[in-house]
Amino acid sequence: MRTRSLFLIALLPPGPQERELQLFASRIFQAGGDASALALPGLLPLALGTPPRRIGNDELATSWQGIVSGFSTASVALHEGGLYLEVTGPLAELEARARALLEPLIAFPVLPGKGFYMGKATSADLACLLAQPPSLSFHAASLSLRELHFEAEGLRLLGWTEKARAWRPGRGKTRKRSSPPGPKALAVHEDE
C-alpha cells in the first residue's frame, strides 16, 4: 500500500484534561457514529503542512517563549462542518509560531487554531451540543510535532509518529523531552 505523509503541530493538555477530552469525543462518537470524533483525541491542531527542514525539540520549544497565560475550554462550536471545543488562551500566537515552522497546506479537513476537533457535525450531534462540554483549565501543556501517515489515495489516517515535543510544565517555563516516543497507530473500526 502506498502512503503519504503530512506534518501536524498540535497543543496537548496534561493527562487528566486529555482524558476528559477523549471521553467527550467518545460521547460525540456514540451520539453521531462519526469515527472522525476519535481521530485526533486530546490534541488541538495548530499547523498542518510540511517542514522545510528537520524540526527538533529545541526549535519547537522556542514557540513557548514569552507565553505565560494558560488555556481554558469554552463552548462547542461548528466551523465548516466540524465540531470544535473552543479554547481561550494564547492560541493565535502559538498558531502563528507553529505555521512559521511548516509550509502550510491550503486546505485540510481540520481547521488549525479553532479548538479541539470533536468530529464532523451530524444531526445526532445535537444531543452532545446540548450536553455540558468539559470545563477544563490548564497551564502545563506541550507542543507536539507529528508525522501523519495517510493512504496515498484519500485522507484515511493510518497512524502517526511523534517527531518532537516541547513541554511547558509551569508558569512560563519550558522543558524538552530527551527523545520523541515511538510510533503509534490508530485503530480504525469500520461497520460491516
Residue 65 has pLDDT above 90, yes or no: yes
Q: How much is the pLDDT for 118?
A: 80
* Nearest of 114, 108, 125 to residue 84 by alpha carbon: 114
Residue 185 has pLDDT above 50, yes or no: no
Helix, strand or coil for residue 39? coil
Residue 65's region, left for phi above 0, alpha for psi from -120 to 50, else beta, is beta
Question: What pLDDT digit, counting tens, does each position of 117-176 carry?
Answer: 887 776 655 655 656 788 999 999 999 999 988 887 776 778 889 999 999 966 544 343
pLDDT, greater one: 71 or 38: 71
Give the phi and the psi of residue 169 in degrees, each rounded to 5.
-80, -30
Q: How much is the pLDDT for 60?
A: 94
Q: Which residue has the cell 507565553?
A: 67
Q: Which residue has the cell 464532523?
A: 120
Does the reported pTM lie above 0.75? yes
